[in-house]
Chains A and B, each alone.
Chain A
Amino acid sequence: MQAARRWWMATAVLGAMACGAVADKTAVIAIGADGDALIPLLWTQTQARTYTELMFDKLAEIGAGQNTLGDAGYQPRLASSWTWSKDSLSIAFHLDPRAHWHDGRAVTARDVRFAFQLYSDPKTGASGGRDFAMAVDSVSVGDSLTATVWFKRRTAEQFHSVAYSMIPLPEHLLGMVPHDSMRSSAFATHPVGNGPFKFGAWEKSRSLELVANEAYHRGRPKLNRVVFTIGNAQAAVRAVLAGDADFYERFTLEDMTEAARTPDVKVMTVPIYVYGVLEFNMRSLDGKAAHPLFGDAGVRRALTMAVDRPSLAKNVLDSLARPALGPFTRTQWTSDTTLRQIPFDTLAANTLLDSLGWKRGGGGMRAKAGRALAFSIVVSSSSRPLARYSELLQQSFARVGAKVTVDLGDQKALIDHVVPHTFDAALLTWTASPSPSGARELWGSVSLAKQGAQNAGNWSNQTWDTQVDSALAALSATEVRAHFRKAYQAAVDDAPAIWLYEPLLVPAMSTRLLTGPIPSDAWWQSIPSWDVTSAPKRPAGGAPSSAKKP
């Protein structure tokens, strides 16, 4: 009996200690920059998207398979279920009656309709709003919990385009705000959402605090608080290594070495929707004529043959990248690893350039009709891998007689080149999404009429355009895949870019943090299921509040 009592007491003491240890269920997440507006449709930076998607729920969340076709795998969020019309031109979303805004008001179908009005109004300035308005005709309100979305045409991704991309907003709070003033409204800095976390406090450029929504209709998150500490990338790495922060999503190869020496820190690798390319500009710098070098597909193919892409990826990112295969990532469901690639073959590259009339002259550099085979590569100094890539590409191209200068600037300077298309070649990373449809704007002729960075290299290819259009109009997965395969092969063959690498995301975290699998499309999506197993190394303590200064 006494022994049993001792066991009971020991268990109670251990339990109390354990409870005490995790009483402060706060996770501190380091991020490299601050966000802009805290309204879902207005964010232009990933950080703001991170904040808002923890405070605002979508109608449905993409499943672990990241499938965007139909509604297969989608998990209920604000909508507990949905019904397709017989002709598939409308979907009725049945909202979860337990879903409430953080101010206590119920989420209604009017909020879904209101969001559609905001997204489709050009005055709001919602990114992608015009495309959204082209796909969706209207949203009607049946009863308070049923919103029916009417589509202009049937597409394979029509469910995805609404459930994933349109986030309901509170009409009772934003209804009176002019659409063109959303960004400057008080709501943009003190939002009222409906998601697993509520807005806590925001010290601009310092920290943003979210607190658990006790009344969240899908169950309270395990963490009490999530605090984002805002600094630069290097400081974020050191914050995790020193135990000041629990998580940073983007460790580099060098940081991993340091993390391996730190017993309290673990890292994982996550495949993501990012690929790096050397994009050629098909037009001259003034845009009036074909580019003297890259207007010729032969030159582009020869330069591609001069690059040993697997070796470069290994050299720059070791095991943290795979060679890219085309204008897609392996994480996309339309990806195709069996495409016929342009091989690394320096001899063939030299032969091809010879046959195109580019003859070697003094110093081994090539020229044709008095014009040297010389061009510049613009690259952002903020990306260490890309800066390293620029040096290695310079060496690779020199071996086939091409002289390359590297124009290194910061991110803003790079955008200054890319948006007006004033570059010869640019080292860029593109972020795709689970949906393959983004490639249409990024590489298609459809973007050429618009001023902007989409289709930065002015590439135009009829096969690509028609196959992508057919893919996006197709209704079966087999058809979509088949069309995309043809489109991707056309892109690989025509070489508008050298497909360099697909990086892996390397989140690093404190060993006390339990994250489970990190989603490929948005690492923050799993935060509501994160937990902590022990007290932080440097406990924040106390109830949510802004930090005071001495």
Chain B
Amino acid sequence: MLRFAAARARQTAIVAIIVTSLAFFLVHAAPGDPFSTIDTSVESAAARAEMRVRYGLDRPLYQQYPAMLMNFARGEFGTSFSQSRPVSAVLAEVIPDTLLLMLPALTFGVLLGVALGTWQGARAGSSADRGWSTVTLGVLSVPEFLIALIAATLFAVRLGWFPATGMLRIGATHSSFADLLGDYLHHAALPVATLTLTIACAVARFQRTAVIGARSEEFVRTARAKGATDRRIIMTHVLRRTAASLCAILGLLFPALIGGAAIVEDVFAWPGAGHTLVAAVSSRDYPLVIALVTVGSIAVCVGSALADAAAAWVSPSGAVDA
């Protein structure tokens, strides 16, 4: 296990360096200057020049790049141009908010997806199975931002059941933790439901296929021959068999989940990392963009490693492939 962890840590470090480097050169290659404005008075030009010196942008890229890598290695992400404060402070604020969106969505999405996929797999070929397959395929074929927009328009704007934006009531003072939690749940309902829906549909399709495959295997026939009920076979044998492939699929889904969360955050103005990344890109906030992309890539690597470890743990062979 230690060897597995060490190998994955090495992989993560390599991926982080590659992604950070790509992000660095891509943001610098994008047209537009972080401090450019349409106001081009002499004073503004001087202020812009001073800002470029302050943030080291006056130096050539071949000097900026190694300096940035060294700083990142020390955990120093620099200062956000657009927010005039350390990038680490921005990250400390936005990452928990993203987790407050992603973790519930991941949990509900996986539970719902596994339940639906298993239920479909046990009734493969039935009209109910075909109906749900059409539904899940339909949902997955619709872009996430469109689902988010439809949800916001229908449930927030038209019906007024939920807020359309934000994570908490603006400027609110919460009288108790229950009040705070209720406020969060009210605001999180739509974005979490949007993400949950897409995760659940993706997981359901994988799970359905895995269950159908497992049900045709010998151990199921043996269990059935021994008189086990269908319910027991599914709950005891089939689910255990499909758990490993499910974990692997979750590892693959993780990058898409992060991308989807960014889109959903932007639509619902959820103040997380994705929403911040979109704003940082449009304002050419180089340090913040690079830091968020790097953190995102590390999260994907770690998530993937955890999924692989979980797959190995639940796999009957128990083998861990670094």
Contacts and interface: CB of A to CB of B under 8 A. Distances in A.
Interface of A: 26, 28, 30, 33-34, 36, 44, 122, 124-131, 180, 183-184, 189, 204-207, 209, 225, 227, 229, 231-232, 234-236, 238-239, 241-245, 258, 261-262, 409-413, 415-416, 418-419, 450-454, 537-545, 547-550
Contacts of B203: none
Contacts of A548: 168, 174, 180
A48 B239 CA distance: 57
A451 B50 CA distance: 17
A130 B43 contact: yes
A453 B33 CA distance: 14
B269 A540 contact: no
A418 B163 CA distance: 40
Contacts of A130: 41-43
Interface in B168-182: 168-175, 177, 180-181
A477 B90 CA distance: 52
A241 B168 contact: no
Given A206-B271, A238-B156, A412-B36, A127 B44 contact: yes
Which interface residue of B100, B170, B172 has the most chain A CB atoms within 10 A? Answer: B170
Contacts of B271: 205-206
Contact of B269 (A122, A126, A239, A549): A239
A540 B170 contact: yes
Contacts of B152: 238, 242
Nearest to A541: B172
Given A412-B33, A550-B180, A235 B269 contact: yes
Contacts of A204: 83-85, 90
A36 B44 CA distance: 14
B295 interface: no
Nearest to A415: B36
B172 A547 contact: yes
A416 B33 contact: yes
B43 A128 contact: yes
B97 interface: yes
B164 to A, nearest CB: 4
B266 A232 contact: yes
B182 to A, nearest CB: 10
Nearest to A225: B171
Given A127-B43, A184-B84, 9 more contacts: A44-B39, A129-B41, A130-B42, A183-B47, A205-B82, A235-B165, A242-B163, A242-B164, A547-B171
Interface stretch (B132-140, B227-235, B252-260, B276-284): B276-284
B289 interface: no
A537 B164 CA distance: 12
A254 to B, nearest CB: 12
Contact of B181 (A225, A227, A550): A550
B45 A451 contact: yes
B45 A452 contact: yes
